[in-house]
């Protein structure tokens, strides 16, 4: 819903945030205006204050837009680029109903590795990576996703730790291949560790690539099968679970 409002207002997505390199953000350029002698009276500070309030209450402007859209929708018209009411209703039901966990049985896990799969991704694909990791974990497998192990990352030499994870301690390495992935220092480090493992195993299907956009993984043959991200986390998780349950 908030994406539709931003689209209506002309607010664009900035996929490489200028302040934090791991999260996308939204922006709209407006000339800075300051009040003389009042550091906290600038229009930028007012925007920050208004945005901080969204955690508890939308701004009056956004609420007025939503109210106007609701009134127009009653007469078969749309103001904001939202899905139709029936589709939104189905989405709300799915989001609020607790679905039973689909577990793979029997689980055949190699005792050789600490993790059945390790997920490597750029921050722009964090949502998809987390959704995939959660489904694999809920199916009863051990998966390395950084947000699952904050206490293990705290204070570690991450160059050594990630090399262990992506070169030695995982049965498979799932990589979200994108332009951002090829440009980030940490993902380059993870990729090199995974590629070293793939070379050691002489062509085994250790790396499982997910194609986010039209780029190739350096050192990876273009004839290797990719999984398109368009299939979505649920279908990709199903395929990975089937692979993990094989002998």
Residue 109 maps to a domain = no
* pLDDT tens figures, 100-117: 444 433 444 455 788 999
pTM of the model: 0.56
Residues 140 and 190 in one domain: yes
How many residues comprise the chain?
247
Residues 127 and 222 in one domain: yes
* Closest by Cα among 57, 56, 62, 52 to 6: 62
Q: Are 205 and 175 in contact (CB under 8 A)?
A: no
What is the domain extent for residue 92?
A: 2-96
Residue 86 maps to a domain = yes
Residues 133 and 92 in one domain: no
83, pLDDT greater than 50: yes
Mean pLDDT in residue range 135-152: 92
* pLDDT tens figures, 64-79: 877 887 788 777 777 7
Residue 105 maps to a domain = no
Of the two residues 20 and 178, the one the predictor is more confident about is 178
Residue 104 maps to a domain = no
Of the two residues 140 and 88, the one the predictor is more confident about is 140
* pLDDT tens figures, 161-188: 999 999 999 999 999 999 999 999 999 9
Q: What is the number of other CB atoms lying within 10 angstroms of the CB of residue 196?
A: 15
Residues 79 and 122 in one domain: no
**CA–CA distance, 43 with 217 (Å, rounded to integer):** 44
> Which of residues 96, 127, 159 is at a domain's end?
96
Residue 103 maps to a domain = no
Residues 89 and 126 in one domain: no
189, pLDDT greater than 50: yes
Of the two residues 221 and 95, the one the predictor is more confident about is 221
Q: Are 84 and 92 in contact (CB under 8 A)?
A: no
Residues 72 and 140 in one domain: no
CATH code, 238: 3.40.50.10140
Structural domain tally of the chain?
A: 2
pLDDT band, residue 225 (cuts 50/70/90) = confident
Q: What pLDDT is attached to residue 168? A: 92
Residue 102 maps to a domain = no
Residue 87 maps to a domain = yes
> Which of residues 39, 68, 96 is at a domain's end?
96
Q: What pLDDT is attached to residue 142? A: 93
Residues 224 and 131 in one domain: yes
Provide the 8-state DSSP code for 66.
Answer: H
Mean pLDDT in residue range 39-56: 63
Residues 30 and 134 in one domain: no
What mean pLDDT is reported for the chain? 78
pLDDT band, residue 202 (cuts 50/70/90) = confident
Residues 40 and 132 in one domain: no
Residue 110 maps to a domain = no
pLDDT band, residue 191 (cuts 50/70/90) = very high
What is the rounded radius of gyration, in angstroms, for the C-alpha atoms of the chain?
22
Share of the chain above pLDDT 90, in %: 40
């Amino acid at each position: 819903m908030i994406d539709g409002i931003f689209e209506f207002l002309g607010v664009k997505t900035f996929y490489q945030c200028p302040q934090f390199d791991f999260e996308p953000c939204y922006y709209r350029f407006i000339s800075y205006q300051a009040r003389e002698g009042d550091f906290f009276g600038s229009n930028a500070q007012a925007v920050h204050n208004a945005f901080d309030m969204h955690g508890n209450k939308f701004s009056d402007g956004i609420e007025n837009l939503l109210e106007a859209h609701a009134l127009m929708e009653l007469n078969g018209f749309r103001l904001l680029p939202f899905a139709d009411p029936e589709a939104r209703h189905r989405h709300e039901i799915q989001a609020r109903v607790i679905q039973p966990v689909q577990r793979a049985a029997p689980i055949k896990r190699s005792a050789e590795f600490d993790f059945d799969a390790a997920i490597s991704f750029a921050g722009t694909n964090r949502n998809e990576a987390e959704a995939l990791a959660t489904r694999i974990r809920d199916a009863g497998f051990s998966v390395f996703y950084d947000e699952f192990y904050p206490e293990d990352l705290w204070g570690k030499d991450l160059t050594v730790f990630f090399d262990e994870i992506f070169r030695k301690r995982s049965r498979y390495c799932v990589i979200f291949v994108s332009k951002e992935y090829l440009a980030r220092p940490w993902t380059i480090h993870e990729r090199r560790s995974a590629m070293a493992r793939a070379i050691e195993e002489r062509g085994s299907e250790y790396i499982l690539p997910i194609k986010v956009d039209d780029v190739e993984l350096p050192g990876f043959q273009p004839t290797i099968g990719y999984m398109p991200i368009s299939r979505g986390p649920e279908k990709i998780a199903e395929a990975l679970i089937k692979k993990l349950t094989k002998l």
